[in-house]
Amino acid sequence: MMAWIIRLVAVLFGLFGVAILLLFGPGSLDARYFNPAPPDPALEALFADPVEPVLTEEGLQGAEDLEPGPDGRLYTGLADGRIMARAPEGGWEEVAHTGGRPLGLAFSPDGVLHVADALAGLIRLDDGEWTVIDEPGEFPALVFTDDLTILEDGTIILTDASGRYGYGEYMESFWEGEQTARILAYTPDGTRRVLADDLAFANGVAHDPESGDVFINETWARQVHVLDPVTGNLRILIDGLPGYPDNIHWDPEENLLWIAMPSRHSELMEFFHPRPLLKRLMRRFADVFGEPELPARPVMGLAVNRLGEPVRVLYGPTREGELGATTVVPWQGQIWTGGLDRPTVDAFPVPPRLDGTHAE
């Protein structure tokens, strides 16, 4: 009898040791408690009837962000480091090469192109030569240079999407549920300061020149904030989004904020986010059996007014094996889209305004 008890205790201790190694041993996930608001059913219902693009332009792999330029052309950065520009009448041409991975693009009030490059950092194009404003390194240096907008006084607002994970590691950030992103401000005199931090993958940033408001999103939290560029105070503009927001773009003609969502939300992952121990175990299973199936990734764009009310909805097709659109931008009477892992830039008709909506 005693020998049987000893064997049972040994087995239990062995199982306990295995469990500890699985949950906390080498290579285990540093899972964090994270509990974003559930998707708003009213917002989910808006994405019901997909439309096809009216124009598809090939050979533009990884057009992660699209930015209308002061010269009337549409600009983007590609996966191979090229900066491309398209004239209104058509035709893309290379205008520069960052030598890295350009993500967000913005023009200063004097028309100078600035780029948030995930590998090169925050850079600007001066007379055909790149000038480094800030570069990646060990935290608190830039870790994941992602997007930027430039205010009328020349202040650059930059998103550093994660303090733990760099470019190509966004799924690790998502699994972990970490909240180490920062919003940085660079003034023309060279001062850098942190406006906001401890954010869940701060990604897109834009601003409203008329009100002075800055908009930033938290991708994993599926929400967009209004940021005071002086105090750094945040307030939620819209949450409960049906997908994970990426780049955002302010349309000054309609006073609307366009929000690109390259993926619908993951019910599975969001079940585990507030259960970090289970999430650690799930990650171990994923390491052995493969990643769980990702949610659908159609083209999704939502335009909201200054009150956060939906005004227009873009819902395009799902392309198997591709990420959805990471950028949704009105230009030349159409809505243009590109994506981090998409080989094309597409143009869609401007969707109709939702019933009962208005600009603010």
DSSP line for 175-198: HHT---EEEEEE-TTS-EEEEEEE
Beta bridge partners of 293: none
Q: Which residue has the higher pLDDT, 2 or 327?
A: 327
Tell me how far CA of residue 77 lies from CA of 11, 95, 347, 356, in angstroms.
57, 10, 17, 37
List residues bridging with 124 in a β-sheet. Answer: 114, 131
Exposure string for 187-201, b = 16+ CB within 10 A, e = fewer: eeeeeeeebbbebbb
Mean pLDDT of 245-259: 99
Instruction: Compute the distance between CA of residue 116 and CA of residue 122 in angstroms, rounded to an integer.
Output: 5
Q: Render pLDDT for 121-179 as a digit per residue (tens, 0 to 9).
A: 999 999 999 999 999 987 789 999 999 999 999 999 999 999 999 999 999 999 999 99
Q: Which of 19-28, 187-196, 297-306, 319-328 has the lowest mean pLDDT?
A: 19-28
CATH number corresponding to 31-349: 2.120.10.30
Helix or strand (DSSP H, E) at 218: strand 214-218
Q: Which amino acid is at 338?
A: G
Contacts with 326 (C-beta within 8 Å, 6 or more apart), sequence order? 64, 65, 246, 247, 260, 262, 338, 339, 340
Distance of alpha carbon 260 from alpha carbon 215, whole angstroms:
13
Q: Is 287 helix (H, G, I), strand (E, B) or coil?
A: helix
Helix, coil or strand: residue 298: strand
**pLDDT above 60 for 1:** no
The predicted-structure confidence for 55-78, as pLDDT tens digits, reads as follows 999 999 999 999 999 999 999 999
Residue type for position 141: A
pLDDT of residue 221: 98
First-to-last alpha carbon distance for the chain, in angstroms, is: 79
